[in-house]
A and B are shown apart, each in its own frame.
Chain A
Amino acid sequence: MSDTHAHSIAFVRDTEIPPSPPPAGETGAVKWLRENLFSNAVNSALTIASLLVIYILLSKTLPWLLNGVWTTNSLAECREVLQGKTGACFSVLTERWNQLLYGFKYPSDQYWRPNLALVLLLFAIAPVLFFDLPRKLLAFTAIYPFLAFWLIWGGTILAPIVALVGFAAGAFVFQTYGKSSFAVGFFGAIAAAFAVWIIGGMLIPDGASDNAMLQAVPSRDLGGFMLNLMLGVTCVSLSLPLGIALALGRQSDMPLIKWMCVVFIEFVRGVPLITLLFVASVMLAYFFPPESTVDLFLRVVIMITMFSAAYIAEVIRGGLAALPKGQYEAADSLGLDYPQAMRLIILPQALKISIPGIVNVAVGLFKDTTLVSVISMFDLVGMIRGPILASTEWNGVYWELLGFAALLFFVVCYGISQYSQWLERRLATDHR
């Protein structure tokens, strides 16, 4: 029987057909394009509109960027080189580079000092930002503020050393007595620090700054992007502890303390930073003792720190409120007192939740340091709007300067926000 069919069937396949490649429209770039850019009429229209926008932006900026002139000494020379072509006069950046970064009064033979301070800042901040680094590096972080102060302002090295010894004495007292009673340790530490500062202040001879190792630079000579960075770093690091204290105070069940914190936070959050800077520039001097001169930098640091502390306090309050009540009760049932419970149980968790918010405040604060140009301090924006645009050589070079300022701020702020996202992923201990 079997051979009858051998004639009726012409061909029997005994191997599998090799899989054929998918249709051209279903693979690779074509598929991706169709799914992501041209899936329907509306999508295609949007794609074409976006391409148009990108084309217009690039066609305006690319020739301007690529034809840039980097080596002339004034706008007139730059225009001569360009001969009517579109092109940027980036030579304003090269010619005024030092002014943009350090302001126009910082002694030019001392530029290595802020540069060194910036490099050391990276080393000091690294162990704070990255937990995997050895903890011993934090010792350098603790010394850094005094070192940076000495590097940037110069003058006698005794002043920062006395300040450092004061803090060290405070920390020692707290370590010794803080174990048995937090309050005794805390107030004892403050008393010890002040005692060291007062005695040390009397020990520093008058005129110690005159022939010091580093030439003294007064605050009003600081400027440029350096001023923005200094204000940003100083105010963020000062406002973090203040913000934590305010947030805890606002949560407190002592009515007077709670009320003080609420009034402070709501008041500061209700007014724009500019009015606080006005206070610093025209009003704060009235509140200091007569004949004392507190320099503008310090006054501005005080006001900006207050400003950002109020915002950080609100962020941390959110973190505290987000903790389940069981955490507070667990701490109580372990027999921990308030400082212990806060330090060991509540704050580590609350701060972890608040990190994105704190970083947002920090980025906002760093951007807001440009506002000091309104009270005639010469930060990066102040330098651009003031001495550089007003000079006869560079009158009218807006785009290059403003674009440069925007780029600097973008790099720093974008970097910070990327770090915060990395940190959030790193700290995520919950199950996903």
Chain B
Amino acid sequence: MSTLTDPPNEGFRLSMLINDTRYRSLTFQVIAAIVLALCIWYLGNNLIQNLRAAGLNISYTFLGDPSGYDINQRLVEYDSQSSHAKAALVGLLNTLLVAFLACITATVFGVIAGVLRLSNNWLVSKLMAVYVEIFRNIPVLIWIIIIFTIMTAVLPGPREFRGDNATASMVFDSFAFTNRGIYIPMPWFENGIFASTAMNWLLVLAGFAGSWIAAHQINVWANTKQESTGVRPKTTALILAAWLVPFLALMLIMGLTWEYPELKGFNFSGGIKVGGPLIALWFALSIYTGAFIAENVRAGIQAVSKGQTEAASALGLRPRRVMNLVVLPQALRVIIPPLISNFLNITKNSSLAIAVGYADITATLGGITLNQTGRAIECVLLLMLFYLTASLTISMVMNVYNASVKLKER
């Protein structure tokens, strides 16, 4: 009778490194690590040799030197004596500004176009299809240049506002649309609570936050009331009050006044100037990305099966509640992930500002500062670091939101 024996206990052979699944993955990883290390060593070695040959070193002290160039469009105080770091900060804020504005308007354009593309109206849906196809298939750089050209060619220059028989006039005496940019009235506080304007605006923001919390609390209270008694108390007036009362009170206390733009000499002064490049970039990015968002919205709405709408109507919900309670929550689940990547695309495409002379971070840090100081490696690395941080932050924030609307599965 035969007995079971253990498999032959062979010693370790070299061929097992590649043929035995226990060791194979380790072998491959060791090879990969060696190749990676060799690549890094080779590139690093070249870098050091090249830098030595050019008499350069890696140092970030140039950021403290005066930049020596001016920036027209800026959110913080800056002049040509400020440091390169300050210039980069101005650019950074400008990037965030245009990305933020464009994300909002692109969503608005996209939702409108996407919904209209599903319209029963043949003409409207075809028109929207043409809009989407035209804007998706032409490079965004060409759109930015075209819209910038339209702005400078179509809008009147500031001097056309001058004289008794001016060919152009301000809208409502407070908005001036010129080819150098759009001038709008600037709100400011006569007797602000804090000395600095920024602190006052922060206070207004805090007021809004308080209103939001109050409105939320009112909703919670109404929900509990409805659960216990079956009757939902009327909350519209209360919520409106929660939003308006603190805001109006703050405005009254601090004495809100408007500073209107005025034509002085050859240009407008006073008010807020929204520069032409900013508007061109903003509009081009919104209308270009809007075409992509429109397709996402259309796909999202079409993904909700018709049975859902019919079931909701059968339950006796009104059309508005069908939309709010049944269709939108399901459509959003499909729309949100591509929307996030579209927001990321806007942020990254805003780097094309360099083509129309808008001073975003690519144009300041990666453009003028790089050319003036010759610090190519440092500037490009900082630039990449910024965009990487911005991208990762946006996708993190949006992923948190995405998780909150996601289908809860067990």
Q: Could you say which residues of chain B place their CB within 8 Å of the CB of A363?
A: 137
**Known contacts A53-B127, A183-B18, A255-B29; is A275 also within 8 Å of B387 by CB?**
yes
Residues of A38-55 contacting chain B, CB below 8 A: 39, 43, 46-47, 50-51, 53-54
B137 / chain A contacts, CB cutoff of 8 Å: 363, 367, 409-410, 413-414, 417
Bound complex: CA A377 to CA B288 (Å): 24
B124 x A50 contact (CB < 8 A): yes
- Report whether B121 and A37 are in contact in the complex, using a CB–CB cutoff of 8 Å: yes
Q: Do A271 and B29 have beta carbons less than 8 Å apart? A: no
Q: Tell me the chain B residues, 25-64 only, with Cβ under 8 Å from chain A.
A: 25, 28-29, 32-33, 36, 43, 46-47, 49-51, 53
- Does B274 have its Cβ within 8 Å of any Cβ on chain A? no
Check A256/B29 contact, CB under 8 A, given A275-B383, A409-B138. Answer: yes
A256 to B242: give the CA distance in the assembly, Å. 55
- Contact in complex: B29, A402 (CB < 8 Å): no
Inter-chain contacts of B127 with A (CB < 8 A): 50, 53-54
- Report the bound CA distance from A273 to B387 in whole Å: 11
Asked if B241 is at the interface (CB within 8 A of a chain A CB), the reply is: no
Q: Does A368 contact B (CB under 8 A)?
A: yes
Which residues in B have their C-beta under 8 angstroms from that of A51?
Answer: 123
Closest Cβ–Cβ distance, residue B367 to chain A (whole Å): 9
Query: Given A282-B376, A282-B380, A398-B149, does the pair A370, B142 have CB atoms closer than 8 Å?
Result: yes
Counting CB contacts under 8 A, is B120 at the interface? Answer: yes
Pairwise interchain contact B50-A279, C-beta atoms closer than 8 A: no
Pick from B28, B49, B349, B370: contact of A254, CB below 8 A: B28
Distance of A266 Cα from B391 Cα, bound (Å):
10
Judge whether B162 is part of the interface by a CB distance below 8 angstroms: no
A370 contacts B139, C-beta separation under 8 Å? yes
**In the complex, what residues of B have CB within 8 A of residue A275's CB?**
351, 362, 366, 380, 383-384, 387
Residues 106 to 120 of chain B near chain A (Cβ within 8 Å): 116, 119-120
B36 touches A283 (CB 8 A): no
Query: Are A367 and B32 in touch, CB under 8 angstroms?
Result: no
**A290–B139 CA distance with the chains assembled, in angstroms:** 37
B329-358 vs A, CB cutoff 8 Å, 1 = contact: the mask equals: 000000000000000000011011011000
Task: Given A272-B348, A367-B138, A402-B142, verify A283-B380 contact (CB < 8 Å).
Answer: yes
* B: contact size bracket: 35 or more
> Which B residues are in CB contact (< 8 Å) with A290?
46, 49-50, 53
A367→B349 CA distance, assembly (Å): 12
| Whole-angstrom CA separation of A367 from B139 in the bound complex | 5
Q: How distant is B351 from chain A, measured CB to nearest CB, in Å?
A: 4
18 of the cross-chain contacts (CB-CB < 8 Å) are A50-B121, A54-B127, A257-B28, A260-B36, A266-B392, A267-B388, A270-B392, A274-B352, A275-B380, A282-B380, A287-B50, A374-B354, A381-B142, A402-B145, A402-B146, A406-B146, A410-B137, A413-B137
Residues on A facing B (Cβ under 8 Å): 36-37, 39, 43, 46-47, 50-51, 53-54, 181, 183, 253-257, 260, 266-267, 269-275, 278-279, 282-283, 285-290, 363, 367-368, 370-371, 373-374, 381, 385, 398-399, 402, 405-406, 409-410, 413-414, 417
Binding site for A on B (CB under 8 A): 18, 25, 28-29, 32-33, 36, 43, 46-47, 49-51, 53, 116, 119-124, 127, 133-134, 136-142, 145-146, 149, 153, 348-349, 351-352, 354-355, 362, 366, 370, 376-377, 380, 383-384, 387-388, 391-392
| A-B interface, 5 closest residue pairs, ranked by CB to CB distance from nearest | A413-B137, A272-B348, A36-B122, A367-B139, A282-B376
Known contacts A254-B28, A257-B28, A274-B354, then 16 further A-B pairs from the complex at CB < 8 Å, ordered by chain A residue: A50-B121, A50-B124, A51-B123, A254-B25, A255-B29, A256-B29, A260-B36, A269-B391, A272-B351, A275-B380, A278-B370, A283-B377, A410-B134, A410-B138, A413-B137, A413-B138
